[in-house]
Amino acid sequence: MDIRIPRGTQDILPGTSEKWQFIEAKIHDICRRFNYAEIRTPIFEQTELFQRGVGDTTDIVQKEMYTFADRGGRSLTLRPEGTASVVRSYVENKLYGSAVQPEKLYYIGPMFRYERPQSGRMRQFFQFGVEAIGSDDPAIDAEVIAMAMEFYKELGLRGLKLVLNSLGDIDSRKAHREALIAHFKPHINEFCSDCQSRLETNPLRILDCKKDRNHPLMESAPSILDYLNEESRQYFNSVKSLLDKMDIPYEVDSGLVRGLDYYNNTAFEIMIEGEGFGAITTLMGGGRYNGLVEDIGGPESPGIGFALSIERLLMALESQNVELPVTKGLDCYLVALGEEPAQKAAVLLTELRRAGVSADKDYLNKKIKGQFKAADRLQASYTAVLGEDELQKGIINVKSMERGEQKEIPLTEFTNYIREKMEEEK
């Protein structure tokens, strides 16, 4: 049998899964502080949701979706991102009617894109994302951006670069779109076939083409920032000035266009600088999507959010040698010698675990040496030895692995003793 894991996916094994749990706990904690509530939506949705939401002409919809027909003949798609699903749920559950607006939501979960796998680009990856729907106050843009920066900083990442742009409102984009078409059209046959078809469907995406990035017309292309109308310009200025006041440095890059169609006004990415991180330097992306709720059948409700992948975050932490403070070992390992002590050990384990202590014992009938070895491998803080003699005397021999001290403890006090020791060490 030669069954292997699908390309572009990974197993998260013990030793690494603790890091994931630590990061997930951090996510829940920061979202609590910023007052975002968790939402969990299905992993698959009707294909049409992403065609409409993410956009028919985007790379994601055209080339990267895992789409299949179910047994009832419906076209379903494994979600390539979270925003469209959250907005669908917001509309379907009439969250626009809840008492407190904006509705501030977050999610953690797997996303699926059929991409060419490379480091930092997976076919299944886990996103942490937030969406604030129902307000177009520039302060919520600043909050969402600040939250992403704070999250990375609290985890200990350095060398972060926040890149900011405005894609303007519908009117500004229309004017810019025409300017882009006029700019590229006379030379479009010098561009790749993707760009040729983007010219009419989605000319903004030409600016993001990897193949043609060195074409001289890219450099001289009309900048969206020159086409912002008064309202969009003011909006952008407000977001920037709030970030200034919050002491969050950023760089404006009019070439930042994002790969999804629903954005307008604020768009941003967080990149990481420095060596050891390979070609992919974007850690997080997000922006404002004021028309999306309406596109998906809800009332006008402006939204903004971001998403980042935990895989890229872990890569970044690793490249900067940041050690996450994950709890390593077991609290207590019971070494039992003989049948009766082994049975008593099973009872003691239950007591320890009920008292909140992590504890384990041997299940392979190992000799004393083997049991001590197991305690060592599990990095147990305490090892407690119970033989026939001890059992008769009603005691247990407790050894602190770190300090090497040994102590006889009455069996009736054992659980409390270990619990107190573990609390002291916390």
Residues that bind ligand HAM (CB under 6 A): 81-83, 113, 115, 120-122, 125, 127, 129, 131, 259-260, 282-287, 305-309, 311-312
- Which sign does the torsion angle of CA 76, 286, 123, 31 carry? negative
Least distance from C-beta 50 to ligand HAM, angstroms? Answer: 11
Identify the H or E element spanning 399.
strand 395-400
Task: Judge contact between 286 and 148, C-beta under 8 A.
Answer: yes
Q: Which of 109, 52, 107, 108 is nearest to 75 (CA)?
A: 52
Please state the φ and ψ torsions of residue 408, each to the nearest 5 degrees: -90, 130
d(Cα 82, Cα 70) in Å, to the nearest integer?
A: 21
- Which sign does the torsion angle of CA 358, 363, 365, 371 carry? negative
Least distance from C-beta 117 to ligand HAM, angstroms? Answer: 8
- Indicate the residue among 105 and 398 with the shorter CB distance to ligand HAM: 105
- Indicate the residue among 162 and 411 with the shorter CB distance to ligand HAM: 162
Residue nearest ligand HAM, Cβ-based: 305
Neighbours of 43 (CB within 10 A): 14
Class of residue 206 by CB neighbours under 10 A (exposed 0-12, middle 13-18, buried 19+): buried
Least distance from C-beta 161 to ligand HAM, angstroms? Answer: 13
- Indicate the residue among 285 and 341 with the shorter CB distance to ligand HAM: 285
- Indicate the residue among 309 and 381 with the shorter CB distance to ligand HAM: 309
- Indicate the residue among 61 and 283 with the shorter CB distance to ligand HAM: 283
- Indicate the residue among 319 and 397 with the shorter CB distance to ligand HAM: 319
Task: Judge contact between 170 and 163, C-beta under 8 A.
Answer: no
Amino acid at position 379, single letter: Q
Task: Judge contact between 411 and 399, C-beta under 8 A.
Answer: no
- Indicate the residue among 125 and 382 with the shorter CB distance to ligand HAM: 125
Least distance from C-beta 386 to ligand HAM, angstroms? Answer: 49
Neighbours of 251 (CB within 10 A): 11
Least distance from C-beta 201 to ligand HAM, angstroms? Answer: 19
Least distance from C-beta 221 to ligand HAM, angstroms? Answer: 21
- Indicate the residue among 315 and 352 with the shorter CB distance to ligand HAM: 315
CA 123 to chain centre: 15
Phi-psi region of 107 (alpha: psi -120 to 50; beta: other; left: phi over 0): beta
Least distance from C-beta 49 to ligand HAM, angstroms? Answer: 13
d(Cα 81, Cα 136) in Å, to the nearest integer?
A: 22
- Indicate the residue among 125 and 184 with the shorter CB distance to ligand HAM: 125
Task: Judge contact between 24 and 326, C-beta under 8 A.
Answer: no
Least distance from C-beta 126 to ligand HAM, angstroms? Answer: 8
- Indicate the residue among 195 and 260 with the shorter CB distance to ligand HAM: 260
Distances (CA, A) of 178 to 173, 202, 291, 306, 327: 9, 11, 20, 28, 57
Least distance from C-beta 15 to ligand HAM, angstroms? Answer: 21
Least distance from C-beta 91 to ligand HAM, angstroms? Answer: 16
